[in-house]
Amino acid sequence: MDEHTAEAANGLNQLEGYLLWQAEIAEAQRAAAAFTGRLPWLTTGQREEVAEAYVQAHLRLSRQAVAHIVKRIRQVRSEYEERYHRLKIRIAAVVLATLALAAAVLALLTHVRQAG
Protein backbone atom coordinates (compact mmCIF):
# COMPACT_ATOMS: atom_id res chain seq x y z
CA MET A 1 0.00 0.00 0.00
CA ASP A 2 1.49 3.32 -1.02
CA GLU A 3 1.59 6.41 1.20
CA HIS A 4 -1.43 8.11 -0.38
CA THR A 5 -3.59 5.00 -0.12
CA ALA A 6 -2.60 4.57 3.53
CA GLU A 7 -3.43 8.24 4.20
CA ALA A 8 -6.80 7.89 2.48
CA ALA A 9 -7.60 4.71 4.43
CA ASN A 10 -6.59 6.41 7.69
CA GLY A 11 -8.74 9.43 6.84
CA LEU A 12 -11.73 7.22 6.06
CA ASN A 13 -11.23 5.33 9.33
CA GLN A 14 -11.16 8.60 11.25
CA LEU A 15 -14.28 9.84 9.46
CA GLU A 16 -16.07 6.57 10.19
CA GLY A 17 -15.07 6.77 13.85
CA TYR A 18 -16.28 10.36 14.06
CA LEU A 19 -19.63 9.50 12.46
CA LEU A 20 -20.10 6.48 14.70
CA TRP A 21 -19.36 8.57 17.79
CA GLN A 22 -21.79 11.28 16.65
CA ALA A 23 -24.45 8.59 16.24
CA GLU A 24 -23.64 7.36 19.76
CA ILE A 25 -24.05 10.90 21.12
CA ALA A 26 -27.39 11.25 19.34
CA GLU A 27 -28.52 7.89 20.76
CA ALA A 28 -27.49 8.96 24.26
CA GLN A 29 -29.47 12.17 23.85
CA ARG A 30 -32.54 10.28 22.60
CA ALA A 31 -32.30 7.86 25.53
CA ALA A 32 -31.91 10.77 27.97
CA ALA A 33 -34.97 12.51 26.52
CA ALA A 34 -36.98 9.29 26.83
CA PHE A 35 -35.80 8.84 30.43
CA THR A 36 -36.59 12.39 31.51
CA GLY A 37 -39.91 12.17 29.66
CA ARG A 38 -40.96 9.55 32.23
CA LEU A 39 -40.32 12.07 35.02
CA PRO A 40 -43.03 14.71 34.46
CA TRP A 41 -42.54 16.33 37.89
CA LEU A 42 -39.09 17.69 36.97
CA THR A 43 -38.72 21.38 36.24
CA THR A 44 -37.15 22.38 32.93
CA GLY A 45 -33.82 23.05 34.63
CA GLN A 46 -33.92 19.75 36.50
CA ARG A 47 -34.88 17.90 33.30
CA GLU A 48 -31.88 19.41 31.49
CA GLU A 49 -29.55 18.56 34.38
CA VAL A 50 -30.78 14.96 34.60
CA ALA A 51 -30.61 14.58 30.81
CA GLU A 52 -27.03 15.86 30.73
CA ALA A 53 -26.01 13.51 33.55
CA TYR A 54 -27.69 10.63 31.69
CA VAL A 55 -25.89 11.50 28.43
CA GLN A 56 -22.52 11.72 30.20
CA ALA A 57 -23.05 8.37 31.95
CA HIS A 58 -24.16 6.75 28.68
CA LEU A 59 -21.11 8.08 26.82
CA ARG A 60 -18.76 7.03 29.63
CA LEU A 61 -20.12 3.48 29.37
CA SER A 62 -19.78 3.62 25.59
CA ARG A 63 -16.13 4.70 25.88
CA GLN A 64 -15.45 1.86 28.31
CA ALA A 65 -17.10 -0.63 25.94
CA VAL A 66 -15.08 0.65 22.99
CA ALA A 67 -11.85 0.48 25.00
CA HIS A 68 -12.66 -3.10 26.01
CA ILE A 69 -13.43 -4.06 22.41
CA VAL A 70 -10.20 -2.47 21.15
CA LYS A 71 -8.20 -4.33 23.81
CA ARG A 72 -9.85 -7.63 22.86
CA ILE A 73 -9.31 -7.03 19.14
CA ARG A 74 -5.60 -6.47 19.80
CA GLN A 75 -5.43 -9.66 21.87
CA VAL A 76 -7.17 -11.72 19.20
CA ARG A 77 -5.02 -10.20 16.46
CA SER A 78 -1.89 -11.08 18.41
CA GLU A 79 -3.13 -14.64 18.99
CA TYR A 80 -3.92 -15.13 15.31
CA GLU A 81 -0.62 -13.63 14.20
CA GLU A 82 1.18 -16.10 16.47
CA ARG A 83 -0.89 -19.01 15.14
CA TYR A 84 -0.26 -17.89 11.57
CA HIS A 85 3.49 -17.70 12.26
CA ARG A 86 3.51 -21.21 13.76
CA LEU A 87 1.46 -22.51 10.82
CA LYS A 88 3.93 -21.03 8.31
CA ILE A 89 6.81 -22.72 10.14
CA ARG A 90 4.94 -26.02 10.22
CA ILE A 91 4.10 -25.83 6.51
CA ALA A 92 7.70 -24.97 5.64
CA ALA A 93 8.88 -27.96 7.69
CA VAL A 94 6.42 -30.29 5.92
CA VAL A 95 7.47 -28.97 2.51
CA LEU A 96 11.16 -29.40 3.34
CA ALA A 97 10.55 -32.91 4.69
CA THR A 98 8.57 -33.81 1.58
CA LEU A 99 11.33 -32.49 -0.68
CA ALA A 100 13.95 -34.39 1.31
CA LEU A 101 11.89 -37.58 1.06
CA ALA A 102 11.38 -37.06 -2.66
CA ALA A 103 15.12 -36.52 -3.13
CA ALA A 104 15.87 -39.67 -1.14
CA VAL A 105 13.39 -41.72 -3.18
CA LEU A 106 14.82 -40.32 -6.41
CA ALA A 107 18.35 -41.13 -5.28
CA LEU A 108 17.29 -44.64 -4.31
CA LEU A 109 15.56 -45.21 -7.64
CA THR A 110 18.58 -43.88 -9.51
CA HIS A 111 20.85 -46.21 -7.54
CA VAL A 112 18.58 -49.23 -8.15
CA ARG A 113 18.46 -48.48 -11.90
CA GLN A 114 22.21 -48.13 -12.14
CA ALA A 115 22.74 -51.33 -10.15
CA GLY A 116 20.27 -53.31 -12.22
pLDDT tens, residue order, the chain (116 aa): 688 888 998 999 999 999 999 999 999 999 999 999 999 999 999 999 999 999 999 999 999 999 999 999 999 999 999 999 999 999 999 999 999 999 999 999 999 888 86
Global model pTM greater than 0.75: no
What pLDDT does 18 receive? 95
At residue 17's C-alpha, the angle toward residues 66 and 64, to 5°, is 15
Domain ranges for the chain, please list them: 3-115
